[in-house]
Structure 1
Amino acid sequence: MNSSESLVVVEHDTCHECDLRVAIPPLQVNQKALCPRCGFLLAAKRRNALNRMLAFALTALIFLALSLPFHFISFKSSGLENEIKMLDSVTILISSGYGFLAVIEVITVLLIPMLVLISLMYVTLSLKLGRMPWQGREIMALIYRLLPWNMAEIFLVGTLVSLVKIISLADIHLGPSFFAFILFSISMTATLLHIDKRSFNQAFASCAAAANDNHSSAIITASVPHAPVQPSLSIQRTWALIITSILLYIPANILPIMNTRLLGQDDPSTIIGGVLLLWHHGSYPIAMVIFVASVMVPIIKILVLIWLNYSVQTGAFRYAKQRIRWYRLAEFVGRWSMIDIFVVIILASLVQLGNAMSIVPGSATFAFAAVVIVTMLAAMSFEPKLIYNDKVGYEPR
């Protein structure tokens, strides 16, 4: 072959959702590759993706660091005032006997975002310097697993909802850390939007080829291993998690999720009770947000997972496109139910004015947080490939 000929790159990938083997041509900037069977996004090429990802990740880390040392929110009522920083909520929850909520906040709002950003910066910087990052593929696999548990933007929305709940009872002041956290959430989202699995796999392959000084081949074939599908194990595990979430959902809605102590008297509130109270006070948008995220989303997600799991167990093959869309919706919206938990965390940390007024988490917070976590695990356990069980292993010629 003439050395002046351009290098031909032949790549195949396996669709994560329907298991179809797809030949992906070289992409131009701003082009995307979609699975021809289920429409799953296989790849997307963006201009200067590594540079932008590195810049956004560094910016996000800086704003995350700035959101910790300064005051986050201050609360003033009847001459009494309380001011908290981001980490104050953790110590308050632990000292009040709600360490479980403190662990959720630290892991999903601080540790996972920080780990994802630092890992991405290490991998992208190594690739920009033309070096194969140590355990690069394993680090990226870990990042992909952690991404669903990154809840920084959900915590921000939960904070805004909690402020709306108490703005009529007291004066609220937002500190520098609050605005730093907003900028962190924006930068974090921008970073994640530039992640593309195929681009990273290509960069790893290029580094490996350069390291081996393998320039003799004119054709390079990149392929992702075809993972076997194990229907019975996936279905049984998903059923177990669905049943667990149903059992947890009952106490999560019957028991109080929050208890307000005003002048020595307790006023417990369930999820539905809080929605009705917000509606009664005219906070219709916030009431709808809480109702959809905390009541409707868990119910819909459980029903969708029941339908999907039953359909693959019985070998149904109709309405595959509709089922894959419902699966994506259930997987996407499930974590947003954590808004109510973050609302309780913020209010329980901020409203601590002794006998005059204080808010403590109710027993339903444990059950509801478990519902969100278990339904997320159920969606992850479900194998969307089984929706196309009559076509698994098909590869176009």
Structure 2
Amino acid sequence: MSEAPAIPLSDLIVCPHCDAVYTLRRPENGEKASCGRCGADLITPRRKAGLQIIAVSLAIAILIIAATVFPFLTIDAAGTTNSMSILDAVFAFNHGLLIALSLAMASLIIVIPLTRALLGIYVLVPIVLDRPPARGAVHAFRLSEALRPWSMAEIFAIGCAVALVKISGIADVSFGPAFWMFVALVILTIFQDNFVCRWSVWNSLDKA
């Protein structure tokens, strides 16, 4: 009885969620390959997806920088008006051990999302232009993926919504430009994470 021929590793794909192994078949643009066990998307090629993701990443970087400068909220209570930016909120805790909390908050809602956006641009621009990957592109994309669970801009937005509900009864609250920038930032971040086909990126880097 002869043994079945071994399948090259390059012809296999593993589900990152449940570790199911499949024979690789690249779907056409607009189609997708999903895991038959857990339903996770494995390959989701889209036409000009790289260029769109670069544009989204650039928009995210601009919004993050702008949202930290402009007023986020304006609170009017008992005749006193106070405007606060995201940086003011982040560094409101500036005594003792609370400084560590401020730094962690700044990292989760500003530094990490901005870093991921810049890493995405760094990795994808050469691929889209059909040029060799940038130096250290594999490590850059791996770092971007490792930071993904720690990018918590949407958690900050939910926390702000809860706080606004609690204080709306005792003060007049108006939204500043940074609030709407942050809303757009959260939407674009979710779009970016769900739109990128990670297999296509890894495949392009592996070929190079």
* Superposition TM-score, scaled by structure 2 size: 0.87
Matches within 5 A, 1:105-184: 105-129=105-129, 130-184=131-185
State how far apart, in whole Å, the 2-side matches of 1:188 and 1:59 are. 10
Corresponding position of 1:32: 32
Identify if the C-alpha distance between structure 1 residues 35 and 84 changes in structure 2 by more than 3 Å, giving closer, same or farther. same
Structure 2 residue matching 1:74: 3-state secondary structure: strand
CA contact (8 A) 1:72 1:174 kept: yes
CA contact (8 A) 2:112 2:151 kept: yes
Question: How far is 1:194 from its partner?
Answer: 2.1
Compare CA radii of gyration and give the structure with the larger one: 1
What code does the residue aligned with 1:56 have? V
Deviations 1:221-241 (A, max 9, x none): xxxxxxxxxxxxxxxxxxxxx
State how far apart, in whole Å, the 1-side matches of 2:114 and 2:149 are. 14
Question: How far is 1:114 from its partner?
Answer: 0.5
Query: How many residue pairs end up in the alignment?
Result: 198
1:193 aligned onto 2:194: yes
1:89 aligned onto 2:89: yes
Corresponding position of 1:44: 44
1:18 aligned onto 2:42: no
State how far apart, in whole Å, the 1-side matches of 2:30 and 2:101 are. 41
State how far apart, in whole Å, the 2-side matches of 1:62 and 1:183 are. 11
Question: How far is 1:109 from its partner?
Answer: 0.3
State how far apart, in whole Å, the 2-side matches of 1:16 and 1:117 are. 22
State how far apart, in whole Å, the 1-side matches of 2:47 and 2:189 are. 18
Stretches of structure 1 that go unaligned for 5 or more consecutive residues are 1-9, 209-397
State how far apart, in whole Å, the 2-side matches of 1:157 and 1:174 are. 15
What code does the residue aligned with 2:37 have? R
State how far apart, in whole Å, the 2-side matches of 1:18 and 1:50 are. 27
Identify if the C-alpha distance between structure 1 residues 191 and 18 changes in structure 2 by more than 3 Å, giving closer, same or farther. closer
Question: How far is 1:15 from its partner?
Answer: 2.2
Structure 2 residue matching 1:57: 3-state secondary structure: helix
What code does the residue aligned with 1:144 have? E
Structure 2 residue matching 1:13: 3-state secondary structure: strand
CA contact (8 A) 1:52 1:191 kept: no
Structure 2 residue matching 1:114: 3-state secondary structure: helix
Stretches of structure 2 that go unaligned for 5 or more consecutive residues are 1-9
Structure 1 residue matching 2:94: 3-state secondary structure: helix
Structure 2 residue matching 1:50: 3-state secondary structure: helix
Question: How far is 1:29 from its partner?
Answer: 1.5
CA contact (8 A) 1:74 1:173 kept: yes
CA contact (8 A) 1:74 1:84 kept: yes
CA contact (8 A) 1:24 1:33 kept: no
CA contact (8 A) 2:72 2:177 kept: yes
Structure 2 residue matching 1:202: 3-state secondary structure: helix
What code does the residue aligned with 1:22 have? Y
Matches within 5 A, 1:382-393: none
Corresponding position of 2:3: none
Matches within 5 A, 1:1-397: 11-95=11-95, 98-129=98-129, 130-206=131-207, 208=208
CA contact (8 A) 2:26 2:43 kept: no
Question: How far is 1:96 from its partner?
Answer: 7.5
State how far apart, in whole Å, the 1-side matches of 2:162 and 2:30 are. 36
> Matched residues, percent identical?
27
* Superposition TM-score, scaled by structure 1 size: 0.47
Deviations 1:181-215 (A, max 9, x none): 11122222222222222101221133x2xxxxxxx
State how far apart, in whole Å, the 2-side matches of 1:201 and 1:96 are. 44
Structure 2 residue matching 1:56: 3-state secondary structure: helix
Question: How far is 1:151 from its partner?
Answer: 0.7
